[in-house]
Amino acid sequence: MSDVEQTLITDEAASEAYQDLHTIQDWVRWTASQFVTHEVYFGHGMDNPWDEAVHLILPVLNMPIDAPKEIMHARLTQSEKVNLLQYIKARVEQRIPVAYLTNQAWFAGMPFYVDERVLVPRSPFAELIAKKFAPWVASPNKVTRILDMCTGSGCIAIALAKAFDRAQVDAVDISFEALAVADINIEEYMLQDRVFAIQSDVFSGVPDQKYDLIVANPPYVDAEDMSDLPDEFHHEPELGLASGDDGLDVTRTLLTEAAEHLNDDGLLFVEVGNSMVHMESQFPDAPFTWLEFEHGGLGVFVVTKQQLLDYFAD
């Protein structure tokens, strides 16, 4: 069987789907099976074919993800089946992530609008935000200024504003297109008075500003990993992924300038993902504390302002 034949849903399979699949549950099961058969990659919020199918089919049918189980036995009309199959084919044949097909992604238990101008949210920062960064942040009520570096869709900034309800959050990104998406989400959550989307190349757009907390999810994919990424990732903006040969171009600037933008007791949290393997050679003996996550994720460290000052003073 050729590669083309392996990646297409045939007309025969489509015809059988129209005839034999009747309920939402039928379509979820068949779709999950198609995802396995055609070896789609799960890396944009879901890690298994069933959840991927649910997050595609229910939104396409204008149903909430947490719809009552009884709704799964509802029968579909022919027009609904035809519409669904177009989305399933786009996922299988074009490798478009589900979040881009439905324009919806979940982060920290909240839905966000996304499209191909921004990365699909998937950061382990959600777990830290849920805990209000305990034990490193001892008094959440005293956090009044937060910077979300490389905000993308604005999901981290918005989740931070929800967790720290006394804080102003500056959501910065180099991409005007990404900031347009962030503005959509800021308005949806009615946080225009506390979350501000700002165009900025690292700290260039926030001169002289200081923060209690800087949360950074910069691009960190190194050149080798960029060349090996599954097809799904090529629908995402490269600007949000690639960061030089070792994946640390943005991180280097961030680390050397962050202390200037932190209050005396300020904390910097940075996600570098797989590029954590390059951090030791680039920053030998650095005082980073690498974090462990209960729900998966790696490559996130925390460092204090004083530790940064001491390290770069040597």
* Cβ within 8 Å of residue 85, ≥6 positions away: 9, 14, 17, 18
Per-residue model confidence as pLDDT tens digits over 263-273: 999 999 999 99
Instruction: Give the other-Cβ count within 10 Å of 68's Cβ.
Output: 8
Q: Look up the pTM and report it.
A: 0.93
Stretch 201-207: mean pLDDT, rounded? Answer: 97
Report whether pLDDT(222) > 90.
no
Q: Which of 130-139, 229-238, 289-298 has the lowest mean pLDDT?
A: 289-298
CA atoms within 13 A on the CB side of 206: 30
Please give the backbone phi and psi of residue 197, each rounded to the nearest 5 degrees, phi first: -80, 125
Report whether pLDDT(247) > 70.
yes
Stretch 55-81: mean pLDDT, rounded? Answer: 94
Mind spelling out the 3-state secondary structure of 51-73?
A: HHHHHHHHHHCCCCCCCCHHHHH
Query: Would you say 56 and 87 are in contact if contact means Cβ atoms under 8 Å apart?
Result: yes
Query: Would you say 7 and 92 are in contact if contact means Cβ atoms under 8 Å apart?
Result: yes
Distance CA 244, CA 234 (A): 17
Stretch 187-210: mean pLDDT, rounded? Answer: 97
* Cβ within 8 Å of residue 291, ≥6 positions away: 128, 300, 301, 302
Query: Is residue 215 helix, strand or coil?
Result: strand
Query: Would you say 233 and 219 are in contact if contact means Cβ atoms under 8 Å apart?
Result: no
Distance CA 269, CA 17 (A): 48
Q: Which of 2-11, 75-84, 187-196, 282-291 has the lowest mean pLDDT?
A: 2-11
Report whether pLDDT(282) > 70.
yes
Q: Which residues pair with 290 in a beta bridge?
A: 301
Query: Would you say 175 and 117 are in contact if contact means Cβ atoms under 8 Å apart?
Result: yes
Topology (CATH level 3) of domain 117-313:
Rossmann fold (3.40.50)
Query: Considering the chain, what percentage of its residues have pLDDT values greater than 90?
Result: 84
Q: Which amino acid is at 246?
A: D
Q: Which residues pair with 258 in a beta bridge?
A: none
* Cβ within 8 Å of residue 100, ≥6 positions away: 114, 115, 116, 120, 235
pLDDT at residue 4 in the model: 41
Per-residue model confidence as pLDDT tens digits over 104-155: 999 999 999 999 999 999 999 999 999 999 999 999 999 999 999 999 999 9
pLDDT at residue 6 in the model: 52
- Mean pLDDT (the chain) is 94
Q: Which residues pair with 222 in a beta bridge?
A: none
Report whether pLDDT(76) > 50.
yes
Report whether pLDDT(290) > 90.
yes
The residue among 307 and 295 whose pLDDT is bigger is 307
pLDDT at residue 3 in the model: 44
Report whether pLDDT(274) > 60.
yes
Per-residue model confidence as pLDDT tens digits over 6-31: 568 888 888 888 888 999 999 999 99
pLDDT at residue 2 in the model: 35
Distance CA 3, CA 8 (A): 9
